[in-house]
Amino acid sequence: MKSPFENALNQLARATAVKKINKEVLLRLQKPEREVSVSIPVRMDSGEVKLFEGYRVQYSSARGPYKGGIRFHLDTNIDEVRALALWMTVKCAVSGIPMGGGKGGITVNPKELSLGEIERLSRGWVKLMYPVLGPSLDVPAPDVNTTPQIMAWMNDEYKKITGLPNDATFTGKPIEAGGSKGRGEATGMGGFYVYEVFAKEFGLSGGATVVIQGMGNVGSNAARIFKNHGSRIIAMSDSKGGIYSEEGLNPQDVDQYKKEHGTLTGFPNAKEISNADLLLLRCDVLIPAALENQITGENARDIKAKIILELANGPTTPEADDILFTRGIPVIPDVLANAGGVIVSTFEWEQNLKSEHWSEVQVLEKLKLILSSEAKGIYSKSVELKTDLRRGAFIIALERLEESMK
Ligand code: GLU
């Protein structure tokens, strides 16, 4: 299996095979502008000190300050963060927002840490990273296993160290700590707005059957939103495995069960299913909402979904893209499908800078306007170039990046 960064560079090269792109632009996107690695000392509850590896990759500032989340995961390393930072660069350009691309992370399993240890780790990351952060330099946000609470700690630490009066250095904060209305559900909501455009193009009617891999912020919100709009959620999973019911699951009950039991195992009136088998279920919409490299050359031939909506970053490999394209299964790419999060993050940043407070209706209306229009643009581009939606999206992003680099 190729590494996420190899896949990301490969996606870039594949896009330029269908449309000529300025050489200098491509050259500048082969490597990040800056990478920072730090070792964070954390006093554990036991009294001993442990060191954790932390990262920030600042990929491109061509279109604005670096923007992208911070991931806490045991498999997180500099290669993964680099790939995610390149995807953020493309995503922000696809969204038309005035942001560059970046990403951060810490190699850690936060489920093994107490709340106090997570707070000290989060503040520790900021203590070492603050010189390269700031509202006009680099604006981090949540990602896998990082929460609004963690953003509040990080923002507080940043303000303490630098004396900055505003809250615009971190987004995805709780509302009471300067967060924006609508940010919590923004990624799932955005995914739904994008889906609505393609459902029309590809003739999917209401009442679609939906399979969702992943129950973090994105997967759980998407399940709830799709269900509320008339879809039947036939399978859901967390990192350990999933559950399946042809009659449909109630996402709120599933969330509640997971909170109470810490697992989906034993959920009433549903069959257990592995994450690998869940991807192969017959359904209208398959939503990978967990990690990279899930749909690959190994399983793409056996996928039975009508359409794939990538709410995770990098869930489909280039080999799988080719197989799915030949089989006529459209893949709505991550850089569009999950862009709702970073778009509302940018609204949060703007509100913080101008001391404004927008209503949830305002936020969601603006989000829908952007995503519906970009989704239509990407669809037209892919039809015009007779290629898949990912390449269509990358071409649009590369043209915008070229414009800014000029
Ligand atoms: N982590 C999210 C992403 O992958 C959101 C980033 C942000 O809000 O800056 O797009």
Q: pLDDT at position 265, please?
A: 96
The pLDDT assigned to 68 comes to: 98
**Contact 341 CB / ligand 1 (< 6 Å):** yes
pLDDT at 1 over 90: no
The confidence band for 365, taking pLDDT boundaries of 50, 70 and 90, is very high
143 lines ligand 1 (CB under 6 A): yes
**Taking 80 as the threshold, does the pLDDT of residue 23 lie above it?**
yes
Which of these is catalytic: 103, 173, 181, 306?
A: 103
Query: pLDDT digits over 65-76, tens only?
Result: 999 999 999 999
Mean of per-residue pLDDT scores for the chain: 97
**Tokens (6 digits) for 275:** 């994450």
Q: Which of 187, 218, 334, 346 to mutate to test the pocket of ligand 1 (most atoms within 8 A of CB)?
A: 187
Confidence of residue 344 (pLDDT cuts 50, 70, 90): very high
| pLDDT at 206 (0 to 100) | 77
Which backbone phi and psi does 106 adopt, to 5 degrees? -140, 135
Phi-psi region of 276 (alpha: psi -120 to 50; beta: other; left: phi over 0): alpha
Query: Among residues of the chain, what percentage have pLDDT more than 90?
Result: 98
Question: Which one of 3.40.80.10, 1.10.10.10, 3.30.70.20, 3.40.50.720 gives the CATH number of domain 186-337?
Answer: 3.40.50.720
Within 8 A by CB and 6+ apart from 100, the residues are 58, 59, 60, 61, 62, 63, 64, 65, 66, 67, 89, 92
Ligand 1 pocket, residue 69 CB under 6 Å: yes
- Quote the ligand 1 centre to 57 CA distance (angstroms): 14
Asked whether residue 263 carries a pLDDT value surpassing 90, the answer given is yes
Ligand 1 in contact with 374 (CB < 6 A)? Answer: no
Residue-wise pLDDT tens digits, 207-219: 899 999 999 999 9
Architecture field, domain 32-173: 3-Layer(aba) Sandwich (3.40)
Q: Which amino acid is at 196?
A: E
Q: Is 204 exposed, middle or buried (0-12, 13-18, 19+ CB in 10 A)?
A: middle
Mean of pLDDT values over 307-332: 98
Q: Which residue, by CA, sits nearest to atom 9 of ligand 1?
A: 68
Closest atom of ligand 1 to 342 CA is 8
26-39 residue pLDDT tens: 999 999 999 999 99
Domain with CATH 3.40.50.720 in the chain: 186-337
State yes or no: pLDDT of 324 exceeds 80: yes
Confidence of residue 320 (pLDDT cuts 50, 70, 90): very high
Do 15 and 391 form a contact (C-beta atoms < 8 A)?
Answer: yes
> Which pTM value belongs to this model?
0.98
* Dist. CA 396–CA 18, nearest whole Å: 12
Cross-strand partners of 140? 68
For the chain, give every residue range classified as CATH 3.40.50.10860: 32-173
Summarize the confidence of residues 1-11 as an average pLDDT: 95
142 CA from centroid of ligand 1 (Å) = 6
147 lines ligand 1 (CB under 6 A): no
* Ligand 1 atom closest to Cα of residue 344: 8
Ligand 1 centroid–CA 24 distance in Å is 27
- Nearest CA to 105 out of 87, 81, 126 is that of 81
Residue 386 clears pLDDT 80, i.e. is over it: yes
Distance CA 170, CA 115 (A): 20
pLDDT tens for each residue of 347-362: 999 999 999 999 999 9
* Pocket probe mutation, ligand 1, options 63, 71, 88, max atoms within 8 Å of Cβ: 88
Q: Which atom of ligand 1 is closest in space to residue 91's alpha carbon? A: 10
Phi, psi values for residue 231, rounded to 5°: -80, 160
For residues 123-131, give the mean pLDDT: 98
Cβ(392) – ligand 1 distance below 6 Å: no
271 Cα: distance to centroid of ligand 1 (angstroms): 33
Ligand 1 mean position, distance from CA 172 (Å): 9
Residue 103 annotated as catalytic: yes
pLDDT at 205: 79
* Ligand 1 centroid distance, CA of 99 (Å): 12
Task: Write the DSSP assignment of 267-310 as a string of letters.
Answer: -TT-EEE-HHHHTTS-EEEEEE-S-SS-B-TTTGGG--EEEEE-
Pocket test of ligand 1: the residue of 139, 143, 180, 367 to mutate, having most ligand atoms within 8 Å of its CB, is 143
By most ligand atoms within 8 Å of CB, the mutation choice from 151, 345, 346, 363 for ligand 1 is: 345
